[in-house]
Amino acid sequence: MAGTPSDKQEDGVTASVSQSDGSEEKTRIHVSDLMGNGREVFLIFNGAEYRLRVTNNNKLILTK
């Protein structure tokens, strides 16, 4: 279907998805590739640490 992103992984980690509106490609990373079997990971952005975690209800929460 046109305009529907693909879930296919090109290299096992990330996949670039072409947008039907001609915008640049977006990189997709599976959460399991970041977290492995864990439920949280810490990300560093502009010198600040952020916590990305999976809740008991299987939702993602990003906090500073």
Give pLDDT, residue 18.
Answer: 57
pLDDT at 46 over 80: yes
Cα 23 to Cα 37: distance, rounded to the nearest angstrom: 34
- Between 16 and 49, residue with greater pLDDT: 49
Name the nearest CA neighbour of 40 among 52, 29, 30: 52
pLDDT at 9 over 50: no
The most confident of the ranges 2-6, 20-24, 47-51 is: 47-51
Cα 32 to Cα 4: distance, rounded to the nearest angstrom: 22
Taken in order of first residue, the domains within the chain and their CATH numbers are 34-64 (2.10.70.10)
- Between 6 and 26, residue with greater pLDDT: 26
